[in-house]
Amino acid sequence: MTAMQTTQTWSLEAVAELYEQPLLDLVFRAAQVHRANNDPREVQLCTLASIKTGKCPEDCAYCPQSAHFESPVEAQKLMQVEPVLEAARAARDSGATRFCMGAAWREVTDGRAFERVLDMVKGVRDLGMEACCTLGMLTEDQARRLKEAGLTAYNHNLDTSEEFYPAIITTRTYQDRLNTIRNVARAGISVCCGGILGLGEEQADRIKLLHTLANLSPQPESVPINALVPVEGTPLAENARVDTFDWVRAIAVARILMPQAKVRLSAGRLEIPAEAQALAFLAGANSIFTGEKLLTTANPELDFDRQLLDQLGLYSRRVGEPAKETCGHAAPSGGICTAEAHAAPALA
Ligand code: SAM
Ligand code: DTB
Ligand code: SF4
């Protein structure tokens, strides 16, 4: 079974029931699901590049790149191919295996800019890395061209529940988002789709978001969980930081609902204590963004992340390095157990 297959249809009630469990019961169950499906010691490192920054026509209330608000972000036109590939090479040398290119566009427009992005994708793939793009809305034909260029994954988040969405973004609809996700999947590109916590949503909105993500068909291969980074000038600048236990809760539920997806700790990690991040890894997170910047906001230093992974006995794999056949834990028999041996008994 691959991560692309939807394993089961989840009812909203079942997702709510999972979400509302006592936190440590939930984390324990998520850890079991994680160990049954993935090497629990491996964490994928991804690096982001903002290839076109600012002046975005969309009005996403959290985003410092929206042209609707005055934020400290300095706008930058679409980068040339070579500096983007230099950044990708540097990311690969620092241990990243996935390079994600983000553009502050409402949608992709056919023409020279798109051709340049296709060249970036080819270049990143030639470095042996996974290439991911997040460029706004896409047609089916544009998705097909990205696929031909070698694109591994396309990031397009649902961000929150369908009901809460219009309180955050008015320039596009939830259905627009779903249409692009469908176009990406039809082109055979992996879907990277997640959300943000801390927008002012209720727990019920988080449950609905997780429910929608889990029932996408195919399920997302990658689920970024962002914690709002409040940025000066945006309407959400004064929002309180998300409670870290709530953040862990969402990660654990994502892991249970989407057992084989990469659950990525995305924006907001700089303000989240190392101990809470450790709990997130236990609950099934298995990827982080590394590098001192996300798109426009700060991220932990690479040395901090390396030390954190070392302290927790986690590792990342470099480009070309094969998956470890064992998870490295001592088995009760005295040998080294295989990841399969971690498989939890079937869950009721
Ligand atoms: N323009 C494209 C789009 O919206 O799909 C791609 C770039 S956009 C910056 C990618 C994602 O970053 C958003 O969907 C949102 O989840 C996240 N994001 C943006 N600003 C954020 C912030 N201040 N804090 C946390 N996450 C943020
Ligand atoms: C995602 O969900 N998070 C990443 C990636 N996908 C593109 C972006 C986070 C951006 C945080 C705000 C900023 O740095 O501008
Ligand atoms: Fe534009 Fe994406 Fe920012 Fe929304 S999140 S304003 S679409 S860059």
Report domain extents, the chain.
12-312
CA 125 to chain centre: 19
Mutate to test the pocket of ligand 3, among 51, 55, 56, 193 (most ligand atoms within 8 A of CB): 56
Residues 273-287 as b or e (16 or more Cβ within 10 Å = b): eeeebbbbbbbbbbb
- The confidence score (pLDDT) of residue 226 equals 98
Per-residue pLDDT tens digits for 35-51:
999 999 999 999 999 99
pTM over 0.85: yes
pLDDT above 70: residue 308: yes
Does 265 or 346 have the greater pLDDT score? 265
pLDDT for 2 equals 46
CATH code for residues 12-312: 3.20.20.70
pLDDT band at residue 7 under the 50/70/90 scheme: low
Q: What is the pLDDT of residue 1?
A: 40
- Short-list 331, 327, 267, 265, CA closest to 294: 267
Distance CA 176, CA 174 (A): 5
pLDDT score, position 331: 43
DSSP code for 211: H
CB atoms < 10 A from the CB of 15, how many? 23
Q: What pLDDT, on a 0 to 100 scale, did the predictor assign at position 326?
A: 54
| Residue 255 designated active-site | no
Alpha-carbon separation of residue 250 from 106, 163, 176, 245 (angstroms) = 28, 18, 24, 9
* Å from CA of 145 to ligand 2 middle: 24
Closest CA to 136 of 168, 190, 170, 172: 172
Q: Would you state the pLDDT for residue 324?
A: 80
Q: How remote is the CA of residue 94 from the centroid of ligand 1, in Å? A: 24
189-216: burial string, b at 16+ Cβ within 10 Å, e else: bbbbbbbbbbbbbeeebbbbbbbbbbbb
Q: How is residue 86 written in tokens?
A: 């230099």
- Quick check: is 60 catalytic? yes
340 pLDDT more than 70: no
Q: Please, which pLDDT band fits residue 314 given cuts at 50, 70 and 90?
A: very high
- The number of the ligand 1 atom at minimal distance from the alpha carbon of 62 is 23
pLDDT-derived band at 323 (thresholds 50, 70, 90) equals confident
Give me the residue label for tokens 């700089």: 270
Residue 97 pLDDT > 60, yes or no?
A: yes
Is the model's pLDDT at 116 over the cut of 80? yes
Q: Is 48 in the pocket of ligand 2 (CB under 6 A)?
A: yes
Is residue 13 classed as helix, strand or coil in its secondary structure?
Answer: helix
Say how many C-beta atoms besides its own lie within 10 A of residue 155's C-beta.
23
The residue to which tokens 């005295």 are assigned:
334
Answer whether residue 28 shows pLDDT above 50: yes
278 vs 129: CA distance, rounded Å = 26
* 38 neighbors 317 (Cβ within 8 angstroms): no
Confidence of residue 344 (pLDDT cuts 50, 70, 90): very low
Q: Whose CA is nearest to atom 18 of ligand 1?
A: 63
Q: What is the pLDDT of residue 292?
A: 87
